[in-house]
Amino acid sequence: MPKRILIIGLNWIGDAIMSMPAIQACRAEHPDAHIALLVKPYLKPLWEMHAVPDQILTLDKMSRTVFEIRDYGFETACILPNSFRSALIPTLAGVRHRIGLKGDHRRLMLTEVIPLAGGHQSNEYYPIVAPGSVDLVKELPELSVPESAFQTLEKKVPDLGTHYAVLMPGAARGASKMWPLDHFEKLAKMLLDQTGLHLVFAGGAGDAPACDGLAEKLGDRAVSVAGRTSLQEWAALLKNAGVAVANDSGGMHLAGAVGVPVVGIYGITDPDKTGPLARRFSVIQNSTVKARDISRTSEEAEKALASILPDQVYSAVQQLLG
């Protein structure tokens, strides 16, 4: 019987995508294993676009999840989040081998504690799920967007074509990661005036007011779909774009994972830790401060973001467009 591995996944789109290279390496190390992922329900469509998982379990009620894991008889749990609950679930489910980082008072629930790796955040997951690949050349995330997502996107945004840029002014972390909206507006006007591109503003439901407001100011060649696409439709939108511009956010990582050239705008977060995992990308940052974790409101971060001028971002877009 193939080995049964449970990977407890991360809770944000960007973090999930940064874990994909290590999970791809896990498959390479265990080609015959049954690999299951436990994720929040809203991330299931993301992982349905990924080739590795044989099974995707969703975390709803903790008690039901524990019984479900116990019934499947997993031998190993690779715990990617650094939270107490993420280690408690496989412990209660009786998974014999539980691997993860220490922290959050969970040391006694782990049978193997992994030290924190340096470099890009994606490096941290290799020792947990694919220790034999730590020193190998790292792959990029790989997502395959289903044809059904392109079809339903076409119904929502007819006649979109492929000659467009996607702008994503939102960030789940809030203002400390968001380039000012008036800068996005100026960039959009430059793109409309100096290229033949159409513009699509995209993001989650929380980004809709800002995206809708920007699109309304820009005329017929700009449209907002923020909050009106599924995650897979969002990926389809990005897949066919000429270029994407985003803050340090899940949207930026999603763009990279589907292969579109992407410009990432950084305030004081560290692109060496969380930069795009993409074949073609540009990072714009003026600050010499590089922090991994910042609060949702940071005057220093907002000032650093505001110092990035639309001209800088436009130049990066032009270079990626060739």
Regarding whether 165 and 128 lie in a shared domain, the answer is no
How many CB atoms are located within 10 Å of the residue 221 CB? Answer: 15
Model confidence over 92-149: pLDDT tens digits? 999 999 999 988 789 999 999 999 999 999 999 999 999 999 988 889 999 999 999 9
Count of domains observed in the chain: 2
Same domain, 169 and 305: yes
- The whole-chain average pLDDT of the chain stands at 95
Q: Specify whether 118 is located in the same domain as 164.
A: no
Domain that holds residue 20: 4-132
Q: Is residue 95 part of a domain?
A: yes
Query: Do the domain assignments include residue 142?
Result: no
* pLDDT of amino acid 2: 60
Q: Is position 140 within any domain?
A: no
Q: Taken in order 90, 92, 95, 99, is the CA torsion positive or negative?
A: positive
81 or 294: which leads in pLDDT? 81
* 190 and 79 in a common domain: no
Domain boundary residue among 75, 97, 132? 132
Q: Do residue 252 and residue 289 come from a single domain?
A: yes
Query: In this structure, are 60 and 33 located in the same domain?
Result: yes
Tokens of 111: 């049978």
Output the pTM of the full model.
0.95
pLDDT of residue 319: 96
Choose the final residue of a domain: 105, 132, 159.
132
**CA-CA distance, 111 to 100, in Å (whole number)?**
9
Of residues 254, 278, 276, 280, the one with CA closest to residue 265: 276
Q: Measure the CA–CA gap between 283 and 149, rounded to whole angstroms.
A: 29
Strands, DSSP E only, in 184-286?
A: 198-201, 222-224, 243-247, 262-265, 281-284
Least confident of 37-41, 100-104, 191-195, 208-212: 100-104
Q: What's the mean pLDDT in 210-230?
A: 96
Q: Is residue 141 in a domain? A: no
Task: Tell me the pLDDT tens digit for each residue of 257-315.
Answer: 999 999 999 999 999 999 999 999 999 999 998 887 788 888 999 999 999 999 999 99
Instruction: Indicate if 220 and 298 belong to the same structural domain.
Output: yes
Question: Are 116 and 173 contained in the same domain?
Answer: no
Residues 122 and 247 in one domain: no
Q: Which residue has the higher pLDDT, 308 or 1?
A: 308
Residue 22 has pLDDT above 60, yes or no: yes
Residue 206 φ then ψ, to 5°: -70, -20
Asked if the structure places residue 176 within a domain, the reply is yes
Query: What's the confidence (pLDDT) of residue 297?
Result: 83
Looking at the fold, whether 50 and 91 belong to one and the same domain comes out as yes
- CATH number (domain holding residue 106): 3.40.50.2000
Residue 102 is predicted with a pLDDT of 87
pLDDT at 223: 96
Does residue 13 share a domain with residue 159? no
Residue 322: per-residue pLDDT:
84
Residues 21 and 79 in one domain: yes
For residue 136, the model assigns a pLDDT of: 87
Tell me, yes or no, whether 273 lies in a domain: yes
> Could you tell me if residue 138 is inside a domain?
no
Q: Residue 226: which pLDDT band, with cuts at 50, 70 and 90?
A: very high
CB count within 10 Å of CB 299 equals 9
Distance CA 260, CA 321 (A): 10
